[in-house]
Each structure stands twice: as structure tokens, then as C-alpha cells.
Structure 1
Amino acid sequence: MTNQNVILITGASSGMGYAATKLFAERGWQVFAGARRVEKIPQLTNVRALPLDVTDSASNQNFVTTAITEAGRIDVLLNNAGYGEFGPLEEVSMANVRKQLDTNLLGAAELAQFVLPTMRAQGSGRIINNSSIGGDLYSPLGGWYYVAKHALNTWSDVLDTEIRQFGLRSVVVAPGGTESSWGEIALKNVTKNLKADSPYQPMVDGTMQLMDRLTESSSATALDLAKVFYRAATDRLPHRRYYYSVADRMMSHFARVHAGAFHQVMNLAVKHFI
């Protein structure tokens, strides 16, 4: 059994997962980093790079079993893997819907089921779920992504109430705009999911302009969010929600508390760009 703190990180080959893998390893943690593209995971002394597809049960089980076998404990699971399956709700195929939910929600839930027996036996452990301010707000074309993040938030909150009795916690990190490839992938998925001669084409064009502007104004880097993950992992009394900025927190609060007003603002914004 290692004397180091042990963390499992999914989606470790790019963006926030890549940055978190480096940060935790540099701060002395033993990192089990999983991704489909293993060759892109940081190659560092404290990093054990493993193949991982969070939509595959056998892959998830092997990822957790390897960590337990080699390290003897699990202090933190960082459910970071995710992507945006964007497109009009009428036109996104159900196969892509299932892929979105499998990746952004069900994979995290299954990994939690695999790590919790070990955490309970230790009497300590923390599950950090990388969600989004999109867990509280929304925009056109991202319906299934927002559904997955809303669900992830609720799942995390319920899990937290269930596992506190064992000395464990489940918390959410909710990034806003972040410099990463996420937005580019989401926009590509809009085009992929759009049918020929789609009646939603004007909305897609306008919404993509809006998303481009929001992406340009992103202030948080992947490293910024990795530092938020580290706080969530090490705070003696962890919060239920973690945000990078006051602006992110305020946007989520506004969408929750003033849902009708937020809906009107969103409709006006889209109308302006169509």
C-alpha cells in the first residue's frame, strides 16, 4: 500500500483532465489517469496511464481494480470525462443521446459504484464530479448536454446525502467558459447532428455565433480548473459546489432563482442572432 494520496482521474488526455493529472502528480499524489488516448496522458513519475472508456463497464472495472491492486487505497475519484452532444433536440439521434448520457452521467455513476466499497472500508474518500454551470442554465442546441449535467448534479447531491454517514463526500465542480477543445467539439457535433434542409439552420447559425463570442470571452484555463479540483479534493470541510469565478456562481444562481427571467433573456439573445 502506498503512503501517497491516491486519485483516479477520467478524461486525462486533454483539457482539464490533463491539467489535473499534472497538478496532482506534481503535488505528490499517486495518479491513476484514464483515457481512450493513453498516449496523450502526461508521462510523469507519479502517473499511471491506463486505457479507459467510461461507457464500457469492463474498462471501468479494470481501471478501478488496477488502482486498488497497485495502490491499496483510493482517496479521490475525479469524474472528469465528458463532451457536448449538441444539436436540435428533434434531430439528435437516440444513439447519440445514449452516448451522451453514458459518457457524462452513467460512466461516472458506475465508477462511483466501483470505488465506494473501498472508500467505505477506509472510512474516507471523496468523489468529485466535473459538471458545468450548464447544470443550472441552458441554451438552444445543447439540450442533451444540459440534461446530463442537471442529472449529474442531482445524482451527486443524492449520493452525498447517502455516503456522509461513512465519512465520505460527493461534490460538484461547475466550470463556466474555459479555454479548451470542448467548445470546438460541441460546435462540430451541431453540424454532424443537423439534418439536410433543417428548419433549425437559422437558429444554428445564430447560436453558433453566440457560442463563438462566449468562447472568445472565456477567462478560465484548464490549469485554473485543475486548481479548483485540487481544492475540492483537499478542503477539510468540502463544499457541495465549487466554482472558478464569482461570475460563474452568479450565473448559476440567477438561472436557478429567476428561471422565468433567464428563459426570457435566452429567447431574446437567440432572437438577436437569428
Structure 2
Amino acid sequence: MKKVVLITGASAGIGKETARVLAKNGYTVYAAARRLDKMQDLQPEGAHMLQMDVTDDDTMVKGVNDIMTREGKIDILINNAGFGSYGAVEDVPIADARYQLEVNLFGAARLTQLVLPSMRQQQWGKIVNISSVGGKIATPFGGWYHASKFALEGLSDALRNEVKQFGIDVIVIEPGGIKSEWSGIAFDSLVKVSGHTAYQNLARRFADTFKTMEPNSPEPLIIAELIQKAIEARRPKARYAAGYMAGPSLFFRKILSDNLMDKAIMGTLKK
């Protein structure tokens, strides 16, 4: 029988490309996002579209129930919905910070709660949490984004050992730089929030530096194929990483002290 996949944040970037890749490779794919109009191009490729907002419990419950009614199971959950809201910790309104965590952390946690009963019953399942290199390394102005991804990493580690007994794997994907809408949204919010505050000079240096790196980032396909590799592995690793500077960044995080890591990060910023 075909494996049934639910993937959130499927209206663009990594989510859309993963839905496309898995649908082409024989999976029954339910592509979920707030706006159905952004996913129309997935329908001819065999994906089913699902309206879902990961900050709205009713839409999450309805979405999972609808899939269970049609398919009788959800084999793989890919928690991909997320965004980066950038700005100095002092400048970001707490309401915006809460929303960042609602989308990037609590939405993933709630969907996980909703799919686990059926996965436990069938004694098989895969939960894939899309974290980031930013779940291990924090840069200036990404405080709340990094907080959400660091938390998602910790949640995944706890969950992995809780559900292993039921034949369920928990896999973390840590993308580095990838061409997507993500960076535009992040840097627009940075300029809006901290572009005219006491942090404006450092904020502009940060934005200028990372904009020059964007052309080196690969297309989302590299992460979509990594996700497919992970879910098809007989014994998947706890973590997979790919994308611009993912490998070197995670390697240096392992070997450098906090002080040296801070110097390395700040040393990359344009003067």
C-alpha cells in the first residue's frame, strides 16, 4: 500500500518541492497550507490539497480527521510550516515572538499529538521535523527564530526516545541556506523592526552580508531529496543536514568554544 504523507507549509519552497517529489515517487501526499491557491500547481502532479493553519487547532484537527476518513492512516508527518521573523530581541514585540513559536514549534507539536495515536496503533510511522542549521547556531537578530528551532530540536530528541518503542522514527532535517521566500521575509522584518533603532548599524551590516550569500544557496530540491532519503532509510539517522554552509557551520559549532563561535559569526559581517 502507498504510504500516506501529510506535509505542512506546502505552498512554497521546501514544502512544495517535497510534496512534488514524494507525489512523483509513489506516495499519497496531502499538501497543507493556509492558502489553497498557492498549491494549485501540485494538483496535476497527484498531491491532494488541504487547507490548514498550524496556529488554528480546529483546522489541524479537521485536516487530520479528513485524511484518516479517506485513507485510514497517516504514515508520515512532515512538519515543515515555519518562517523567520528577524529583529533584535529588544525590538521584537512579544506578540510577534509568540506567533513565531506558535508556527514553528507549537503547530508541529500539536500535529504530532494528533497523528501519534494512529501511528502507535499500526506500530509504524515517521515524524520529520524541519529544523535548521539555526537550530544549532544562533546569529544576531534571529533570537526568536533560533529559540523556536532550538526548542524544536529538543522536542524532537525527547520524542524520538518516547516513540521508538512503537516503531516510530523521529527525524530532524537541518537545512542551511536554500533559495526560498524565507530569506526575503526574514530580512524585510529585520529592516522593519530594527532598521531604525539603536541596533540599526549592526542590522544593516547583517542584512547586507547575508544577501550576498543568497545567490550561493541551492534550490529546495536538495532538501526534498534529503527528506525522501531519510524516510526511506531502514534505520534513519536522528539528523540530516544539507544546503549552503550547512556542513561547515555544524562542524565548527561542534569544535569551537562559544567565544570563538561568536567571533567567527561576527567576523563574517560586512563593515
Count of matched residue pairs? 268
What is the distance in 2 between the residues matched to 1:189 and 1:221? 23
Kindly report which structure 2 residues correspond to 1:84-233, keeping only aligned pairs within 5 A, or say none.
84-194=84-194, 197-218=196-217, 220-233=218-231
What is the distance in 2 between the residues matched to 1:268 and 1:177? 18
What is the distance in 2 between the residues matched to 1:249 and 1:111? 29
What is the distance in 1 between the residues matched to 2:183 and 2:74? 32
SS of alignment partner, residue 61 of structure 1: helix
Q: Give the AA of the match of 1:189.
A: S
Q: 1:246 to 1:215 in 2, by over 3 A?
A: closer
What is the distance in 1 between the residues matched to 2:13 and 2:72? 28
Select 1:234's aligned residue among 228, 232, 238: 232
- Aligned-residue sequence identity (percent) comes to 36
Tell me how far 1:55 sits from its aligned partner. Answer: 0.7
What is the distance in 1 between the residues matched to 2:193 and 2:62? 33
Contact 1:28 1:46 in 2 (8 A): no
Tell me how far 1:247 sits from its aligned partner. Answer: 4.6
What is the distance in 2 between the residues matched to 1:247 and 1:38? 33
5+ long unaligned stretches in structure 1: none
Tell me how far 1:245 sits from its aligned partner. Answer: 5.6
Q: What root-mean-square deviation, in Å, do the aligned CA atoms of Structure 1 and Structure 2 show?
A: 1.5
Q: Give the AA of the match of 1:8.
A: L
In structure 1, what is the equivalent of residue 247 of structure 2?
249
Contact 1:25 1:44 in 2 (8 A): no
Select 2:24's aligned residue among 5, 23, 26: 26
Tell me how far 1:191 sits from its aligned partner. Answer: 2.2
With normalisation by structure 1, the TM-score equals 0.94
